[in-house]
Amino acid sequence: MYSDKTLTLNNGIKISQIQLGTWPINNDDVKKVVRQAISVGYRAFDTARDYGNESGVGKGIWNSDVERSDIYLTTKLPTAVKDYEGTKKAIDEALDRFSLEYIDMLLIHSPQPWIEVNRTNDRHFEGNLENWRAMEEAVKAGKVRSIGVSNFLQEDVANIVNNGTIKPAVNQIEVHIGHVPTDLMKYCENLGIQIEAHSPLAHGRLLKDRKINAYAKKYNVSPAQLMLAFDLQLGCIVLPKSDNVSEMKENLDIDFEISGEDMADLIKLKENTQAMSV
């Protein structure tokens, strides 16, 4: 089962290749969802300040039978914070909300505050370096084990790599059948930066796609399993979200391989082309 499969990051730390995404599960419900996920085998969770559910995720971990050291917890800075002091405060507040002594992975959620995405060309290079400086200090202080970025384009990654001290361990970006940013993935791979695939099921909107269903039938798996196997075979960490126990189990139970020929066909698919019937 992929729940047991780990990858090693550029800092030598091991990380589960399948993690539970927790957006948009609300803070009350997420506590039970995390507990259930742990009971079926998940050991890694993805959340963020901007999801509003960090304290619920922390309670789910606390209320489980599993040791803290066996859990891998990722969270992300609020996107509106782009200064050093604000970042330090945000890290301490996150630790308080989780009631935990350390965070396994902390990400800059977006190079731009949400309000500016697709609206301005300001990439906030200075602000992202301010975030990064405070994050590097949090690593040295033992508050955070690994640091990385999310939704970063090549120029945003280069800014951190060229000016920071610690290299980002991951870049968490959208990757799924129909949306494979190959150039960015190769760029990160060449720098030793692991890709985490968010929205690996395309928010669920491609699960009825004709071609995906045909391939799923061929391998005798569900469309969700086919989509996850595709990302895993591209070398990504995947973060499927589900609050349904049978789907959670299904998403961990991936023990088949898509052939090279079929991967080559699937990678060519572009969402909203005629090849896909969504």
Ligand X SMILES: NC(=O)c1ccc[n+]([C@@H]2O[C@H](COP(=O)([O-])OP(=O)(O)OC[C@H]3O[C@@H](n4cnc5c(N)ncnc54)[C@H](OP(=O)(O)O)[C@@H]3O)[C@@H](O)[C@H]2O)c1
User: Alpha-carbon distance 168 to 193, whole Å?
Assistant: 6
Q: Are residues 97 and 58 in contact, defined by beta-carbon separation less than 8 angstroms?
A: yes
Q: Are residues 82 and 130 in contact, defined by beta-carbon separation less than 8 angstroms?
A: yes
Query: Contacting ligand X (CB under 6 A), which of 52, 86, 164, 204?
Result: 204
Q: Does 102 engage in binding with ligand X (CB under 6 A)? A: no
The active-site residue, picked from 2, 51, 72, 215, is 51
User: Alpha-carbon distance 43 to 27, whole Å?
Assistant: 19
Q: How far is the CB of 77 from ligand X (least distance, A)?
A: 11
User: Alpha-carbon distance 225 to 251, whole Å?
Assistant: 6
Looking at 10-18, 20-28, 64-72, 208-216, which segment touches ligand X (CB under 6 A)? 20-28
- Which CA distances in Å does 176 have to 7, 59, 184, 254? 19, 31, 14, 16
Query: Contacting ligand X (CB under 6 A), which of 151, 159, 171, 194?
Result: 151
User: Alpha-carbon distance 114 to 100, whole Å?
Assistant: 27
Looking at 15-23, 33-41, 158-166, 179-187, which segment touches ligand X (CB under 6 A)? 15-23
Site residues for ligand X, window 207-226 (CB under 6 A)?
Answer: 207, 222, 224
Alpha helices in the chain (DSSP H): 27-40, 54-62, 84-98, 125-140, 154-163, 182-190, 210-219, 223-233, 245-252, 260-268
64 vs 151, beta carbon nearer ligand X: 151
**Beta strands 6-8; 103-108: pairing state:** unpaired
Contact characters 240-269, ligand X, x per CB under 6 A: xxxxx--x--xx------------------
64 vs 172, beta carbon nearer ligand X: 172
Query: Contacting ligand X (CB under 6 A), which of 71, 221, 236, 239?
Result: 239
Q: Does 149 engage in binding with ligand X (CB under 6 A)? A: no
Catalytic residue at 187?
no
Query: Contacting ligand X (CB under 6 A), which of 199, 215, 229, 254?
Result: 199
Q: How many CB atoms lie within 10 A of CB 121?
A: 6
164 vs 204, beta carbon nearer ligand X: 204
Looking at 53-61, 127-135, 140-148, 200-208, which segment touches ligand X (CB under 6 A)? 200-208
First to last CA, the chain: 30
Site size with ligand X, rule: CB under 6 A: 27
Contact characters 66-95, ligand X, x per CB under 6 A: ------------------------------
Q: Are residues 97 and 76 in contact, defined by beta-carbon separation less than 8 angstroms?
A: no
Which residues form the catalytic set?
Answer: 51
